[in-house]
Structure 1
């Protein structure tokens, strides 16, 4: 296996990804090449790219693209590394969740990805340091064990699969260094990463339907615009169920959902009449029509005080309840020991609404939780470029919790360019501005501002 061939390969890829090597005063990287015969005897042989402000020899700082080769036709190790001098310019970059997210997708069971890329104190695990496939470079790995946040074994770097993986690591480094400056560069980076970032196309309604058959009571959770309510209704249609619908809010009470009394406004004298809540109506129908499937959809389940709304029926939400001797009174002359087999509940929960009540662990145990994430859809009305740009910013800068705030695909459906601009101006822009005002997604503020300034000529900081 030729080291020179792979050196040339990664330099060609770097240029495809936007690294302009003909600019003498603004170099995109400094190349390191320590692959002499003595070094190749498991004595620290490596080559790759380091930060453009570093020297061509000696200790260096910050992130590097590092490849540990050998001349014995044995596996190589491809890594994102950190100079042994630690961080100088890249510490903030190391804290961006998207960096780890990206490289974790480039590694498999024969690789490793740290949970914290700013960590230069923790050594590589034994799955790498003690790996039998890497014994020929074990001393080299030991030397750099604390400064390799992610790495992947490559059996044959000159094979199609080997080059595909190396190209993906170069593309990841290109994103890290912000090399792409035009559409061709960005397209080349995307094409190199695509085989590793592909996610399976999932029929969410079908998955939810299968989960409902197994668990009976489920919550569809996700950011706004991800189609939670639409999916719930679609599942009910697929099953052919009789559907009951209710939406919770801050004032929803036990009497609204289960049973209460209300003034009879049709009489001149003050009288009260019994009122079956939406749950009781659905349950009663299920009991009376045991041959029909019945689904109760509860929209925005966490907008209400659930302890007050559910009351004693909380006990009934056990999808595999044994025969119970406890009778729960739903309404006068209406008691049940357990919920009937033909009765199911689909609830929805907006994960972006930070003002909502936290769902307690006891209730969580009684429901299955299915997350709907923002995703591109095939439609002439779907503005994929805007969706992809917002998704890219979230993916790079958002923490795991902040990912729950990403606007879903529903925000990016419009009939005309003008309508889409209005959606950005009057829906997405105010939403992102509110997030930033609450101290969320701070690292992404300039990226968002740049997007809005170019797209709708508005600044977040006016």
Structure 2
């Protein structure tokens, strides 16, 4: 088995060697070129003309710490060892190393633009040198030098979180990497001390040097305490990677509804091995016993998986153990010792029970994961709205309002954080109260109170089924008051902003706690009770999103991006059109974010048009109500009103499948108002259903999307065409970004399939009945990691996505379908 973290000594020695070249970078570049020549590889593009005239040490480390295979990485390090005379062994294990995106692998901008400053690379060398000196001697003088050098490069183009990754590469026991995986891991109080978690919660951008060192110092104290199962930064980074892999597996299972994860096979062997060892053992002894009991071969024990070549057996056993801990079969209170609980000593672990444990784990993970909004970005937390009864018959309302809290009963459950799942809560309630009730609804409400409500969420206090008593904003996480002498020990702090009595014409659910976020009409109506007051909800600090982020995620060059933004800025309305799979929806959302500079989902709305979509859905119209019919406003009307109140900021209304709706019917009198020169309150029209003069604000941008291969649709209304600019999105197989992504996968069958699709696109473009608008886009092949590019995955794309499309394209030419179906299948054999 490979020795873990063997890379540390090699990386540190290489960093020390590099420092010798600080004043002789031409020799350094020559040596690098020889390294690549000797190993038969091409030096990656490091400058516009491919040959760098200067280079920094962090970028050199990035050559072998990005999206490449381990085989290539080992080959590069072998060449470095020879020419740089490194004494340490070339590592064959890269556990705990964060890697760069292939498209953003340099720490400087290429020459030829205004982003590259004359002293950028010199500054990077200074930061590199000061970091090594600080690692060798942490003195007041070395800290001051490091702070000055770090802050100098922090604001340079192409320097982002990768700066902390670079510091970690060169001295991994001294510097903590703040890559996204580590930041997410250290935001969980189960993984590290509270003072580090607090730092992570407020960390929205790359910290300045003093703050970074403060975070580093706090992390160092936490990991060296031995309380968290890792005693160094490499061990922490490796654990963060393990957890992210586990979460990824759970997310996949949640989407597919399956529970056949590979590590389920180890549930029974783990329990049996611990029983054989007397009920308690170290992880190493447990694994040895499993190997003996299961008569595992060396091949099974030493198999690796993933791009970091993690030991598959150890990894899966660790996952199995973590699920058994959550399910209450193994106690994890003592670090480094696995101990069976009473339940673990007696349980008969069947395949059905293992599957149930896994499903519960998936559900729990989903409950604890970041909230996802309608635009699907996991790093954006959205406000949720809750209906809440403060005690039976609202008996506790006055007390809770005065104390600035909301409370929940079920005191017999004790601290809600001690339960691993809703089922466990329900079982506890059945044990206490008996009877035939499943207690699933009660457990669901209690679980939501403890885990799903988030600071910033809005609470509507209610009495009965129609009266609203007040409104508040949640200010704390769940707290259990074990000294509470009443019936409500489960608490959250709430800033109650309103108190009174408002009657609703809609009946409320009888439940104590209800998430009503998705019932937008209801939320808008209840929120309307408080519109005249000045109290606002908590401001959400949304993640920043730059032009560089857009170019990093979307396979589009900067020139095309600037043209796209320019057209939208002048026209205000644009339609992104293109072939299937060119990523129109993905581009539309990221375009909005990049223009705003932030992922503010409150300023972006997406709808999808269809044949039944109407003016009443879009603007306003009569809808059934308890008393007959009421006028209700539509999504675009509401969006424009929101933008009108926030005129200093840009708002983006995205329409998917814009050509599938009856556009004249949907837009109605707004045909004129959406024109760029008819925007603003100087151009108003009388609305059809209400005595109201309406206008479309100047800060509203409309982005439509249209599939050019949809032959079932009529041509767009000419009146609408005049009001929209049209931007063609084409398959991006030949872009620099996609090439870098493809090279990172390093899979011959993937490359063969992409090559076949490019040839197919040439045939489609030349076909008089089709044309370029029917070419196959690149998104069918995106968002895969090297280990995910399996034969089954590629064959699935061919059989279930590409060939059905060809059958539709050439429905009357079966020979063409057969020819290209055979070509595609051959590419992935």
Compute the TM-score of the two structures, normalised by the length of structure 1: 0.50
Question: Which structure dedicates a bigger proportion of its chain to helix?
Answer: 2
User: Where is the strand percentage greater, Structure 1 or Structure 2?
Assistant: 1
Q: TM-score, normalised by structure 2?
A: 0.29
Point out which structure has higher relative CO (alpha carbons under 8 A, 6+ apart).
1
